[in-house]
Amino acid sequence: MKEVIEAHVQEYGKTPDVLVSAPGRFHLIGEHTWFCKDKTLSMAVDFPIYIAISAREDLSARFYFVQMGERKRSNLSSLKFRKEDRWANALKAIFYGFTSGGFSLCGVDVTVWSEILPSAGFGITTAMKVGIAVGLKKLCSVPCSDVQLLQVIERGNKLFLGVGNYIADIYAAMYAQPGSCILTDHATGEYDILPFNFEDVSILLTDARVPRITVWDESTIAEPANVLLLGELKERKSHVYGGWQYEESDTEVNEVLSVVNEDMRRHMKCIMLEHKYVLEAVSALQKNDFARFCKTISRSHDGLRDLYLISCPEIDWLVKRVQDFDMTTVRNPNGCSRITGKGFGRCTYTILKTRDVPLYKEKLTEYERIFGFHPSCYEVKPAGGVHLCEF
């Protein structure tokens, strides 16, 4: 926090009026199921991004990202998306979200501080959006509720950036609590906080540094016809968390999905399994059953690899090493690993006994020797959501 204040003073010659911290995050299960109103289990982590803001007397907006050494400019009266502005477009989108909703803002000087760059894919871009939204609300005394603030972010995403508005991303950055996971229900727009109480475990995020290559067009699964088919396979179950589950009869599933090609059928079956795994992971968290939790995470990765086709040999190698640890058995696993991120990601999360962290890091050295990519590994803890910092 001290560093971002010093950087702001050095850049603009004045101390910030507002300082905001927002967490990074990763999705444990269900990040590909938003389009059919399923559920996503996520965790905010202690990858804080700090945003320092001070008011200006004009309508200019100046942005400085310390770690990237980049500076961008804009004007509140003529906000435009510019490809060359890259990360700054995420900030400008929130300005647009406020002004397009009738809220008044002042000009600002903004400093962004994050040791993890947006390209890593650990929710840093969303943290920037949520952080600047909360900071502007405070700085400019914007009279908006949390619901209206969510609408600000949604307008920025959809109308300015032209991208999807993924509420699981936003809720993790806004509402997460320390030592917990957050479960987003895309059907109701609500969330639940689930304590992460497993003892003597560590959480590692690994950027495998594998170039992202698109294998198939993931947007095709979100076509309305496919959503309707999945809707036909949803069954009301009062005893199930959330009140419903997917049909489990293979005969019924195959009959409903017989109208789509084999590739799409496999992708849609993966979506159905992901919802099942979300429910199983929630149950394991509630019962503090680490072995069951690990089994569920491993099965989720297998489905994404074999049915959804978004993994790659490098990622699978990292995941397999955790599953093959001597201390891990099929019946009572002590660790798990999975690809994470929307789209064709290059990152994994690994949850294992703390005593086994050195062994995992040895495997990363072996990974680099075999594949030639230099991975980055970060040990993280469950963190709380966005907040204003006192300084």
> Tens digit of pLDDT for each residue in 260-289?
999 999 999 999 999 999 999 999 999 999
Distance CA(19)–CA(32), nearest Å, equals 33
- Mean pLDDT over all residues of the chain? 94
Per-residue pLDDT band for 341 (boundaries 50, 70, 90) equals: confident
Please write the tens of the pLDDT for every residue from 112-144: 999 988 887 789 999 999 999 999 999 999 999
Distance CA(296)–CA(335), nearest Å, equals 11
User: Using an 8 Å Cβ cutoff, are 20 and 134 in contact?
Assistant: yes
Same domain, 216 and 178: no
The predicted pLDDT at position 385 comes to 98
How many domains does the chain divide into? 2
* Residue 371 pLDDT > 60: yes
Tell me what the mean pLDDT of segment 311-315 comes to: 93
* Residue 356 pLDDT > 70: yes
**Selection from 355, 391, 382 nearest residue 46 by Cα:** 382
* Residue 336 pLDDT > 60: yes
**Selection from 157, 137, 43, 150 nearest residue 89 by Cα:** 157
Distinct helix (H) and strand (E) counts, the chain: 11, 14
Please write the tens of the pLDDT for every residue from 150-204: 999 999 999 999 999 999 999 999 999 999 999 999 999 999 999 999 999 999 9
Same domain, 95 and 124: yes
The predicted pLDDT at position 332 comes to 75
User: Using an 8 Å Cβ cutoff, are 92 and 83 in contact?
Assistant: no
- Please name every residue paired with 111 in a beta bridge, in sequence order, or none if there are none: 52, 64
The predicted pLDDT at position 196 comes to 98
* Residue 391 pLDDT > 90: no
The predicted pLDDT at position 271 comes to 98
Please write the tens of the pLDDT for every residue from 75-115: 999 999 999 999 999 999 999 999 999 999 999 999 999 99
Q: CATH no. for residue 48?
A: 3.30.230.10
Tell me what the mean pLDDT of segment 50-54 comes to: 98
Q: CATH no. for residue 254?
A: 3.30.70.890
Same domain, 144 and 256: no
Same domain, 231 and 177: no
Which is catalytic among the residues 169, 185, 207, 356?
A: 169
**CA distances, 304 to each of 30, 215, 275, 344, 345 (Å):** 10, 13, 13, 10, 11
For residue 185, what is the enclosing H or E element?
strand 180-185
Structure tokens at 338: 């999975």
Same domain, 146 and 215: no
**Selection from 234, 242, 324 nearest residue 278 by Cα:** 242
Domain that holds residue 83: 2-187+384-388
CB atoms within 10 A of CB 335: 25
Distance CA(98)–CA(87), nearest Å, equals 18
Same domain, 182 and 230: no
The predicted pLDDT at position 13 comes to 97
Same domain, 118 and 239: no
Structure tokens at 363: 């495997």
Give the three-state DSSP class for 61: strand
Give the three-state DSSP class for 241: coil
Same domain, 148 and 212: no
* Residue 344 pLDDT > 60: no
* Residue 331 pLDDT > 90: no
Please write the tens of the pLDDT for every residue from 208-244: 998 877 789 999 999 999 999 999 999 999 889 999 9
User: Using an 8 Å Cβ cutoff, are 29 and 41 in contact?
Assistant: yes
User: Using an 8 Å Cβ cutoff, are 109 and 12 in contact?
Assistant: yes
Give the three-state DSSP class for 57: coil
Distance CA(288)–CA(158), nearest Å, equals 39
Same domain, 233 and 107: no
Strands 108-113 and 60-65 turn out to be parallel
> 250 an active-site residue?
no
Tell me what the mean pLDDT of segment 16-27 comes to: 98
- Residue at token pair 């799409």: 264
Same domain, 98 and 228: no
Rounded to 5 degrees, φ, ψ at 12 are: -115, -10
Strands 39-55 and 180-185 turn out to be antiparallel
Structure tokens at 229: 């088919």
Same domain, 201 and 144: no
Distance CA(197)–CA(266), nearest Å, equals 34
Same domain, 207 and 241: yes
* Residue 53 pLDDT > 90: yes
pTM listed for this prediction: 0.94
* Residue 326 pLDDT > 80: no
Alpha helices, H only, the chain: 2-12, 88-99, 124-139, 146-155, 167-175, 224-232, 250-256, 262-287, 290-306, 313-323, 357-371
